[in-house]
Amino acid sequence: MRIAVFPGSFDPITLGHYDIVERAVPLFDKIIIAIGQNSQKKYMFSLEQRKEFIKKTFADFPTVEVDHFEGLTIDYCKSRGVKFILRGLRNPADFEFEKAIAHTNRELTKSDRVETIFLLTSSGKSFISSSIVREIITFKGNYELLVPPAVRV
């Protein structure tokens, strides 16, 4: 079974995230959207809110599951028996950052390799980031064009 983990903080989930998952669904038997705890981030939305946003957003996708984890993504993948990590790329800076993580993960899983699969975000969504959405929300701007309906509170 081809299972991919799509890790992130999803604070909140955006149309860019949605684009990646929607396009990856035909490639995998299951996609686990795994909300990770990043020790460097201060979250705007609680874990439960983020899980609910994602569950509602992908309610019509039976092969998409929502979970959460603490620690390294690669350890989570190993604990779930997952061989693929799904990542979206918006720009060259994303690629350089994600490439370093992918190489590190390959080193950490030499005997039981976990591969990272990169998808480019569609051009009309490549400017969207959760941090931009949070900034717009903070200053009461119109963020609704950047997020799925479940996030439009």
Question: Does residue 2 carry a catalytic annotation?
Answer: no
Beta bridge partners of residue 34, listed in sequence order: 7, 67
90 catalytic per annotation: yes
Q: Of 51, 55, 90, 99, which residue is the catalytic one?
A: 90
Strand 84-89's sheet: what is its strand order? 64-69, 30-36, 3-8, 84-89, 115-120
What is the sign of the dihedral through the CA atoms of 122, 71, 104 and 2?
A: negative
Q: Which residues sit in the known binding site?
A: 9-10, 17, 41, 73, 87-90, 98, 125-131
- Can 123 be counted among the known catalytic residues? no
- Residue ranges at the known binding site for ATP: 9-10, 17, 88-90, 98, 125-131
Tokens for 139, please give them: 């200053």
Q: Which of 2, 41, 103, 152 is labelled catalytic?
A: 41
Q: Rounded distance, CA 90 to CA 46, Å?
A: 25
Whether 130 is a known active-site residue: answer yes
List, as residue ranges, the binding site for substrate. 9, 41, 73, 87
- Name the residues annotated as catalytic: 17, 41, 90, 130
